[in-house]
Amino acid sequence: MLGKRYISNGMLAAIILSVIIAFMISLIPMQLSTFKQDFPVFHWQKDIHLTEDNLVDFVAAFSIEIPIKKVILEHDMIAVDFSIQDADLNTNVMYKDLFTVIQKSLIQTTNVKEVLLRVFIDDKIFIAVSANREDIKSNPSMELKASMMYKDFLEQYFGLNYGKMFKPE
């Protein structure tokens, strides 16, 4: 009987302490003035001002398959080098990844005006693309037309520069 009484008192003390801690935490002011609005936790914010501080997070959010060799951010230009092995080359995937990087860099940032992409095979340039905001004025959301391939879009809007290693399909 005596043991139950001590357990009841301990339980009551724990509940009271929990309520006091919850009340004290609710009194701490929250700095919500820095947020413009509420966003879901995993929502990608549009209009990112890309800096060296958030460059890694920005590049890590790309859902691409070809490995990145190097990324350079200078003023209003981002340059991304990719490095692939000849045996791993799937040109459809490569064109899709190039499109994705250009689209995210030009549409989801406020300060990037030019994107330079190069794909290397064994330290030799396979393909290069130079894109800027002026190129997509007629299609600012970079939407693909019906039955348009990524390669066709890149050639039409930006032009593709092929290195000496290019093998026609």
The residues spanned by each domain of the chain are 1-30, 55-162
Residue 29: the pLDDT is: 66
The predicted model scores a pTM of 0.69
Please report, for residues 29, 34, 45, 168, the alpha-carbon distance to residue 38 in angstroms, rounded to integers and kept in the order given: 17, 11, 11, 49
**Residues 6+ positions from 112 with CB-CB distance below 8 Å:** 50, 76, 77, 78, 105, 106
Query: Each residue of 1-41: pLDDT tens digit?
Result: 555 666 678 888 889 999 999 888 887 766 544 555 555 55
Query: Each residue of 86-96: pLDDT tens digit?
Result: 777 788 899 99
Taking the C-alpha atoms of residue 143 and residue 158, their distance in angstroms, rounded to an integer, is 14
Give me the mean pLDDT over the 74-100 stretch: 88
Banded model confidence at residue 45, pLDDT cuts 50, 70, 90: low
Please report, for residues 19, 57, 65, 143, the alpha-carbon distance to residue 61 in angstroms, rounded to integers and kept in the order given: 41, 6, 12, 20
Query: Each residue of 115-157: pLDDT tens digit?
Result: 999 999 888 888 999 999 898 888 888 888 888 899 999 998 9
Residue 72: the pLDDT is: 92
DSSP per-residue letters across 27-54: TSPP--TT-SS---TTPPPSSB---TTT
Name the burial class of residue 91, with classes exposed (0-12), middle (13-18) and buried (19+) by CB atoms within 10 angstroms of its CB.
middle
Higher-pLDDT residue of 33 and 59 is: 59
Taking the C-alpha atoms of residue 15 and residue 142, their distance in angstroms, rounded to an integer, is 57
Tokens found for residue 75: 């003023």
